[in-house]
Each structure stands twice: as structure tokens, then as C-alpha cells.
Amino acid sequence: MANRAFNLLASLVSLAAVPAVAHHAFSREFDESKTVVLRGVVTRIDWQNPHVFFYVDVKDGDGRAVNWACETRGPRGLARGGWTRDSLKPGDKVIVQGFLARDGSHKADGRKVTLADGRKILSSD
């Protein structure tokens, strides 16, 4: 009986730890000393927990489109800031300001998002 209770407790503790493992610390993934400004066109938005991602095609030095992943807050945090699923759509031209990923990939923490008409739809300082 005690063994069964221990196994149940161990299972519950391991399940509770899963979200914590999936989430990451900002400083572990992004470098606050390396800022980036991306100008391009939104290709996709993934509304998911723990963070919403949107993807932007940005022209490189040779004029080729490079698809960047931009990470933002979670859906609830964006909603508290006034975002809806229609705030950003594929085809929107944007300027994204943020911080580069430490691993050198085409990924950024998207802190500020401005639409082509000048409207700021995300501004985190």
C-alpha cells in the first residue's frame, strides 16, 4: 500500500514538472546585448502556450527571403495588452524590434511590433 502511494505521488510530481520544463528563461535563450530590427512580411502566426510565435520573411543582403521566428508573450498576456487573433495577419508588413537568439538561429524575442501604417501593436519595455 505504501509503495502504491509513493508511486502515485511520484507520478503526480513528475506531471506537475512538465510545464516548467517546457518553459524557458529569457536569458537562457535570448541575448539582451544583441538587439535586432526586422522589417518584413508576416507569413504565419501560432497562438499557443506558453508563447505565441509569428514568422516574418525578411530580405537578406542578397535579396532572398529569410523566415524569422519571433517569440512573444503567451495568449493571455497578449490579450491583456489588447491583441486579438486578428491583430496580426499573414501578409501584414511589420517592423519587429527585439533580441537575438543565443543559438544563432533566425529567431528573436519580438518585444516591439509596429505595422506598416505606424500603429504599435506590441510594445514591451
Map out the domains of the chain as residue ranges.
Answer: 25-123
- Note the Cα 72 to chain centre separation in Å: 4
- Note the Cα 9 to chain centre separation in Å: 34
The pTM score is: 0.76
Amino acid at 125: D
Q: Which residue has the cell 507569413?
A: 43
Cα–Cα distance measured from residue 119 to residue 112, given in angstroms and rounded to the nearest whole number: 11
Cα–Cα distance measured from residue 68 to residue 54, given in angstroms and rounded to the nearest whole number: 8
State the pairing for strand pair 53-59/120-123: unpaired
Task: Give, for all 125 residues of the chain, the pLDDT tens digit.
Answer: 555 543 434 444 443 443 444 445 766 789 999 999 999 999 999 999 999 999 999 999 999 999 999 999 999 999 998 888 899 999 999 999 999 999 999 999 998 999 999 999 887 65
CATH level 3 topology of 25-123: OB fold (Dihydrolipoamide Acetyltransferase, E2P) (2.40.50)
Q: Which residue has the cell 512573444?
A: 72
Task: Specify the pLDDT at position 17.
Answer: 40
Amino acid at 75: P
Burial of 95 (0-12, 13-18, 19+ CB in 10 A): middle
Question: Residues with Cβ < 8 Å from 89, sequence gap 6 or more?
Answer: 42, 45
